[in-house]
Amino acid sequence: MNALDELMDYDEVMAAYDVVIGLEVHVELDTKSKMWCGCSTDFGGAPNSHTCPVCLGLPGSLPVVNRTAVESAIRIGLSLGCRIAEWCRFARKNYFYPDMTKNYQISQYDEPLCFDGEVAIVVDGQSYAIPIERVHMEEDAGKTSHVGGAGRIQGADYSLLDYNRAGVPLMEIVTKPVLGTGEEGPAVAREYMAHLRELMRALGVSQARMERGNMRCDANISLMPKGSSELGTRTETKNINSLRSVEAALRYEIRRQGAVLAGGGRVVQETRMWHEEGYTTAGRSKETAEDYRYFPEPDLVPVAPSREWVAQLRTTLPEPPSERRIRLQADWGFTDLEMRDVNGNEGAIDLIEQTVSAGASPATARKWWLTELARRANEAGVGLDEVGMGPAQVADLQRLVDDGTLTDKLARQVIDGVLAGEGEPADVVTARGLAVVSDEGALAEAVDVAIAANPAVAQKVRDGKVQAAGALIGAVMKAMKGQADAARVRELVLEKLS
Amino acid sequence: MNDTIHATAAELAARIASGEQSAEEVTRAHLDRIAAVDEQVHAFLAVDGERALSQARAVDAKRASGEPLTALAGVPVAVKDLFCYQGLPTTAASRMLENWVPPYNSTVVDRLLASDLVILGKTNLDEFAMGSSTETSAFGPTRNPWDLGRIPGGSGGGSAAALAAFEAPLAVGTDTGGSIRQPASVTGTVGVKPTYGGVSRYGVIAMASSLDQPGPCARTVLDAALLHQVMAGHDPADSTSIDAPVPDVVTAARRAEVKGLRIGVVTELGGEGYAPGVEARFAEAVELLSSLGAEIVEVSCPNFVHALAAYYLIMPAEVSSNLARYDGMRYGLRVGDDGVASTEQVMRASRAAGFGDEVKRRIIIGTYALSAGYYDAYYGSAQKVRTLIRADFEAAFEHCDVLVSPATPTTAFRFGERMTDPLAMYKSDLCTIPANLAGNAAASVPIGLADEDGLPVGLQIMAPTLADDRCYLVGAAVEAGLADRWGGPLLDRIPALEETPR
Amino acid sequence: MALTAQDVARLADLARIELSEEELARLAPQLDVILTAVASVAEVAEQDVAPTSHPVRLENVYRTDELKPSWPAETMLAGAPAVEDDHFRVPRILDEEA
């Protein structure tokens, strides 16, 4: 917590103010090539190995528009209920910064490709309308690393530039000011981001992982005294790197701004940086707003998507994520609480769906993904879909439990093995000898041994104290290293002592 | 071989194809001529002798093996130092790029090489193509071969001077506000600005993207047409490049027929500010066209009076953005990086040191024209003027097939005469600018010498968009008609340059 | 509508060009003259005319989304004033760009 900021109690702020939220989201597209040239958009190449005269902005170079990026923009716009421009242009946004090879960004200004949309976001059964101002196309910049000064920009001695990311297609999605969310504002914002993420993945246009930077969120928020219609001063918060942080950052800003206003002060219009520790700090304050001197990009000709093209793209849209969730919840028979759990885990819905397709029941699929595997993903700091085990394997695992080969407890050990790279679930069972012992003879023997070793306990059971059998069952399970069906062991114990 | 350097490109191509002369001989003759006179003229910033000779030899080898040769195979060409050409610096005549060697070729250069032309070297220009006299070059001016105390025009003075000095039979330039046509006019050579989008801008260092257009320069209209044919055509690497066949400029140049053609004289491009000698030669050229069977009409293009103002807003605006990349971070001049200075400071110092005065002026004007609060009044309004000028052309072309005017109001002025008065310098572009704003094709062909100073005058011929061939049709007719009257081409009368002894 | 040296200084800032006091003083009147001359375009502004941004009437020019080989980093870095670890090395950057 930043000791410098005073914070007002959240509920107190909400009692006195209405919150107005604006979200600007940048999505990196998964196209094969960059926006203006054929260089790869692949992550993690050697520095400056995915560059060419065009994305490096060498003298004389010229951009040429990636058609798939335009298609993706239109599809995103349609999915957000937007109108698609009949005619629009690119524009140059002029400013100097070393990560921009041309010292201008090719973007769109007053003629976005998509505009005037709306998306319904549901939080706790309540639907909120998020008005979409625009979706437009632009390009990403290079990556700067700072040398000296502990790798941060302040105090650095110099910087190094890698332009592999320069020119990667970016879609910018901007909401209009969102009013009427009340105290759920931050949660609505988070759900909106989750919705966008699902949408991008369903459209197949981006992985949209905030932690990886393929989806970025700048959150704007201001407080308006209840009853007033005059918008308050807003702050913009950047460096938000997860869905959770979207909500946390907005809550923080609400509380901070509330405290400022309560103290008789004025909220400073500024850009703030979110810190994972749980607070925001003021960014660079600029005396004058940067003058970007936008003008239509002369090196590119207008984009005028025909209505036929737009109609054809409309037929390629996937089922809207919200509708899909409703349908799947019904199909799977999950309660609202259970579904909320699913929705709260990034990527879970897809994985559960795939696991069910592979043969598991929805309940067991949910169980594995949201308990064991979610825990392990969190520990490893990776997404659920990167945990190291896939839907088919989870279904296989559940089959082994269903047919009695494994108990739940043993199944967890199998997961260990799969994640350790020891192979498929069946392979791990064999290799580690984890199968439940179903050999009645062996079981009976083990029960006999346990009874013989614990005569006093055995006598209690004979005398009618059935609960005492627990200790004997425990002893057998221990001897069997857990590889026994506890229910069957209990049966055998009681049989022998009756 | 004196004969070689005075030959036209068409003639040289024929000799090379027939074996009468080897490409190597032809190139060598031109290299010798450059060595002999370029110290005085300074048309070239770089001469690429060894590579040129090896290109020439490759043509000779092709010929020897019986391979068919292209139309201009083996013919030497000079290239304005704005076109990227690997292996040599491409400097834009600026300290900013003094040592920058491009890792790639411009499409135009690739096409020249693919057609087996021989690249002699890079020619001088006003810095970053900003100027009308080649005086702003960071590496010294080029001198007009007609009078070494006078400017050769700009920004492409080097290419035009190379032609007039017989250092090359062909040259390649760019025209943003007249940078091919005005130098052609003041040096008695031919220069053409194709329809915007007709020739690829890929690899040409950008000045004003919506106005820049590469084009051919030569001593005859046919030569220019042959070069135009090689340079032009769709390029997928340039989004503004027209995807249509190149207008048949060579046929038009050969036809040279104006009977029945309607020729419009633009009222607004003449009168006050125009030298008497220029107006006199212009009137004669018009009368010649009439005698050749063309119908002459007076046409008014009322919005042309705003063209200069619009141009000197749109062009600097685009310049200010196009030149932002020159900041010393990735290539070019870096100044002041002492390990303590910040990126901001180094950018500012590098740009201050790398750019000359005219470049700085235009960047500042452009920044102003685009800035918040001024956009509508300046850049925004200028773009409206552009619409009106295009409308003027369209209306004019309802009544005529081409428009004509002087190419520039005066003949070549003396060095230093306009350097302290930017507005006076800008007026050199009065006639040429409208075609850049509207994007249609325009050419300048020599029509004689002014009586008062004996210096060349050029006729500007403007055609509708994609009708570049009409420029050549009319230009060739005028050229032939005048050559008849004069008993030979205008350049026969150029004072001989003293060859520097080797 | 006179352009002062201070105006020019602000524009030079936006354009990242260091200008000396002498240059500022010299350029301001020159620029002022030019700007006054070109201001006549504002007369046209009243007219209901659409601005032209592109002289060529082209629309919808695209390229297919396919990979082309990139250039070797070495070649792209060849013209750089300073290189380190296959990166372009630049002086210290003062502020995070918002």
Q: Is residue A345 part of a domain?
A: yes
Shortest distance, CA C59 to any CA of chain B (angstroms): 9
What is the radius of gyration, based on Cα positions, of chain C?
Answer: 22
Query: What's the length of chain A?
Result: 498
What does the alpha-carbon distance between residue B112 and residue B233 come to, in Å, rounded to a whole number? 13
Q: A-chain residues within 8 Å CB-CB of C66?
A: 32-33, 38
Q: Is residue A121 part of a domain?
A: yes
pLDDT digits over A9-68, tens only?
A: 999 999 999 999 999 999 999 999 999 999 999 988 999 999 999 999 999 999 999 999
Q: Is residue B409 part of a domain?
A: yes
Q: Give residue A287's pLDDT band: very low, low, confident or very high (50, 70, 90).
A: low
Report the pLDDT averaged over residues A267-291: 83
Cross-strand pairs, A94: A104
Residue A32: what pLDDT?
Answer: 97
C-alpha angle A27/A31/A33, rounded to 5°?
Answer: 120
Tell me if residue B80 is catalytic: yes
Report the pLDDT averaged over residues A304-313: 97
CB contact under 8 A, C41 and B306: yes
Are both A52 and A108 inside the same structural domain?
yes
> What is the maximum alpha-carbon separation in chain B?
73
What is the token pair recorded at A172? 């910018």
pLDDT digits over B250-288, tens only?
A: 999 999 999 999 999 999 999 999 999 999 999 999 999
Q: Is residue A3 part of a domain?
A: no
A352 has a chain C CB within 8 A of its CB: no
Which of C58, C72, C86 is nearest residue A47 as measured by Cβ atoms? C86
Pick from B28-32, B270-274, B369-373, C63-67: least confident: B369-373
Which of B205, B321, B330 is nearest residue A60 as measured by Cβ atoms? B205
Pick from A410-424, A430-444, B175-189: least confident: A430-444
Q: Is residue B205 part of a domain?
A: yes
The pairing of strands A235-240 and A271-275 is: parallel
Q: Are B441 and B198 in contact (CB under 8 A)?
A: yes
Question: What is the overall mean pLDDT for chain B?
Answer: 96
DSSP calls for B315-357: HHHHHHHHGGG-SSSSSS------SSSBHHHHHHHHHHHHS-H
Report which residue type is found at B230. V
Q: Is residue A5 part of a domain?
A: no
A49 has a chain C CB within 8 A of its CB: yes
What is the token pair recorded at B351? 């740009």
Percent of chain A with pLDDT over 90: 68
Tell me if residue B133 is catalytic: no
Report the pLDDT averaged over residues C41-68: 90
Residue from A94, A152, A285, A301 to probe the interface with C (highest C Cβ count within 10 Å)? A301
Q: Is residue A2 part of a domain?
A: no
Q: Are B189 and B179 in contact (CB under 8 A)?
A: no
Report the pLDDT averaged over residues A409-435: 89
Q: Are B360 and B129 in contact (CB under 8 A)?
A: no
Query: What's the length of chain C?
Result: 98
Cross-strand pairs, A175: A132
Nearest to B144 by CA among B31, B42, B13, B272: B42
Q: Are C33 and B371 in contact (CB under 8 A)?
A: no
Q: Is residue A296 part of a domain?
A: yes
Nearest to A322 by CA among A187, A171, A127, A132: A127
For A53, other C-beta atoms within 10 Å of its C-beta total 22
pLDDT digits over A58-68, tens only?
A: 999 999 999 99
Helix (H) or strand (E) holding A115: strand A114-123
Cα B225 versus chain centre, distance: 14
Report the pLDDT averaged over residues C41-59: 86
What does the alpha-carbon distance between residue B96 and residue B327 come to, in Å, rounded to a whole number? 9
Are both A366 and A240 inside the same structural domain?
no
Q: B-chain residues within 8 Å CB-CB of A92?
A: 321
Are both A33 and A156 inside the same structural domain?
yes
The pairing of strands A114-123 and A158-162 is: unpaired
Statement: residue A438 has pLDDT above 80: no
What does the alpha-carbon distance between residue A251 and residue B64 come to, in Å, rounded to a whole number? 82
What is the token pair recorded at A108? 């769109």
Residue A345: what pLDDT?
Answer: 84
Q: Is residue B318 part of a domain?
A: no
Q: Quote the pTM value.
A: 0.90
Last residue of a domain, one of A383, A404, A432: A432
What does the alpha-carbon distance between residue A91 and residue A112 come to, in Å, rounded to a whole number? 10
What does the alpha-carbon distance between residue A480 and residue A493 come to, in Å, rounded to a whole number? 14
Question: What is the overall mean pLDDT for chain A?
Answer: 92
Q: Are C56 and B389 in contact (CB under 8 A)?
A: no
The pairing of strands A169-175 and A215-225 is: unpaired
CB contact under 8 A, B384 and C17: no
Which of A60, A102, A301 is nearest residue B239 as measured by Cβ atoms? A301
pLDDT digits over A312-357, tens only?
A: 999 999 988 878 888 999 999 999 889 988 988 888 999 999 999 9
DSSP calls for B70-86: PTTTT-EEEEETTB--T
Query: Which alpha helices (DSSP H) does B205-256 contain, by range?
Result: 221-231, 249-255
Helix (H, G, I), strand (E, B) or coil at B360: helix
What is the radius of gyration, based on Cα positions, of chain B?
Answer: 21
The phi and psi torsions of A86 (rounded to 5 degrees) equal: -80, -25
Task: Write down the number of H helices and E strands in chain B.
Answer: 17, 11
What does the alpha-carbon distance between residue B448 and residue B478 come to, in Å, rounded to a whole number? 11
Are both A97 and A142 inside the same structural domain?
yes
Q: Give residue C98's pLDDT band: very low, low, confident or very high (50, 70, 90).
A: very low
- Count CB pairs under 8 A between chains B and C: 179
Shortest distance, CA B235 to any CA of chain A (angstroms): 11
What is the radius of gyration, based on Cα positions, of chain A?
Answer: 29
Task: Please tell me the total count of domains within chain A.
Answer: 3
**pLDDT: is A337 or B150 the higher one?**
B150
CATH number at residue A463: 1.10.10
Statement: residue B497 has pLDDT above 70: yes
Nearest to A281 by CA among A310, A238, A227: A238
Percent of chain B with pLDDT over 70: 99
Are both A423 and A447 inside the same structural domain?
no
The pairing of strands B170-174 and B76-80 is: parallel
Statement: residue C2 has pLDDT above 80: no
What does the alpha-carbon distance between residue A159 and residue A145 come to, in Å, rounded to a whole number? 6
Last residue of a domain, one of A269, A286, A312: A312
Are both A403 and A446 inside the same structural domain?
no
Q: Is residue B71 part of a domain?
A: yes
Q: Scanning the structure block, which residue is given the tokens 């690829």?
A: B200
CB contact under 8 A, A293 and B205: no
Q: Give residue C33's pLDDT band: very low, low, confident or very high (50, 70, 90).
A: confident
CB contact under 8 A, A60 and B339: no
Are both A236 and A339 inside the same structural domain?
no
Cross-strand pairs, A220: A22, A236
Query: Which alpha helices (DSSP H) does A333-468 contain, by range?
Result: 336-344, 348-357, 362-368, 374-380, 391-402, 408-419, 425-432, 440-453, 455-462
Q: Is residue A162 part of a domain?
A: yes
Cross-strand pairs, A273: A238, A281
pLDDT digits over B75-88, tens only?
A: 999 999 999 999 99
Report the pLDDT averaged over residues B167-195: 98
What is the token pair recorded at A196? 């966008």
Q: Percentages helix, strand, coil for chain A, rounded to the nearest 5?
A: 40, 20, 40
Are both A112 and A129 inside the same structural domain?
yes
Q: Is residue B325 part of a domain?
A: no
Q: Scanning the structure block, which residue is given the tokens 């492409």?
A: B156
Q: Is residue B131 part of a domain?
A: yes
Q: Are B325 and A56 in contact (CB under 8 A)?
A: no
Residue B421: what pLDDT?
Answer: 87
Are both A286 and A306 inside the same structural domain?
yes
Nearest to B342 by CA among A288, A358, A98: A98
Shortest distance, CA B370 to any CA of chain A (angstroms): 5
Instruction: Please give the order of strands across the beta sheet that includes A295-296.
Output: A104-107, A91-94, A295-296
pLDDT digits over A167-206, tens only?
A: 999 999 999 999 999 999 999 999 999 999 999 999 999 9
DSSP calls for A473-487: HHHHHHHTTT-S-HH
Are both A347 and A391 inside the same structural domain?
yes
Chains that touch A (3 or more CB pairs under 8 A): B, C
Q: Give residue B429's pLDDT band: very low, low, confident or very high (50, 70, 90).
A: very high
Which of B209, B343, B367 is nearest residue A298 as measured by Cβ atoms? B209
Q: C-chain residues within 8 Å CB-CB of B365?
A: 31, 34-35
The pairing of strands B456-462 and B442-449 is: antiparallel
CB contact under 8 A, A53 and B330: no
Instruction: Please give the order of strands across the beta sheet that includes B170-174.
Output: B44-47, B118-123, B76-80, B170-174, B214-218, B190-193, B442-449, B456-462, B402-406, B262-266, B295-299
Task: Please tell me the total count of domains within chain B.
Answer: 1
What does the alpha-carbon distance between residue B368 and residue B365 come to, in Å, rounded to a whole number? 5
Q: Half-sphere exposure (CA, 13 Å, Cβ side) for A26? A: 18
What is the token pair recorded at A282? 């003021």
Q: Is residue B373 part of a domain?
A: no
pLDDT digits over A366-379, tens only?
A: 999 999 999 999 99
Q: Are C82 and C90 in contact (CB under 8 A)?
A: yes
Are both A393 and A444 inside the same structural domain?
no
Residue from C93, C94, C95 to probe the interface with A (highest A Cβ count within 10 Å)? C93
Residue A483: what pLDDT?
Answer: 84
Tell me if residue B155 is catalytic: yes
**Can you give the residue range of the structural domain that contains B265?**
9-305+386-493
Q: Is residue A1 part of a domain?
A: no
What residues 29-68 of chain C have any CB closer than 8 A to a CB of chain A?
A: 53-54, 56, 58-68
**pLDDT: is B57 or A407 the higher one?**
B57
What is the token pair recorded at B164? 């007039």
Q: B-chain residues within 8 Å CB-CB of C51?
A: 380, 383-384, 386-387
CB contact under 8 A, B370 and A63: no
Q: Are B478 and B285 in contact (CB under 8 A)?
A: yes
Q: Is residue B468 part of a domain?
A: yes
Statement: residue C45 has pLDDT above 70: no
Q: Are B120 and B77 in contact (CB under 8 A)?
A: yes
**Can you give the residue range of the structural domain that contains A449?**
440-497
Q: Are B209 and C55 in contact (CB under 8 A)?
A: no
CATH number at residue B166: 3.90.1300.10
**pLDDT: is A491 or C64 the higher one?**
C64
pLDDT digits over A73-118, tens only?
A: 999 999 999 999 999 999 999 999 999 999 999 999 999 999 999 9
The phi and psi torsions of A43 (rounded to 5 degrees) equal: -75, 150
Q: Scanning the structure block, which residue is given the tokens 């005048």?
A: B482
For helices C21-38 and B307-322, angle between their N-to-C axes, nearest 10 degrees: 140
**pLDDT: is B277 or B425 the higher one?**
B277
What is the token pair recorded at A265? 């002060």
CB contact under 8 A, A160 and C95: no
Are both A151 and A170 inside the same structural domain?
yes
Statement: residue B221 has pLDDT above 90: yes
Report which residue type is found at B116. D
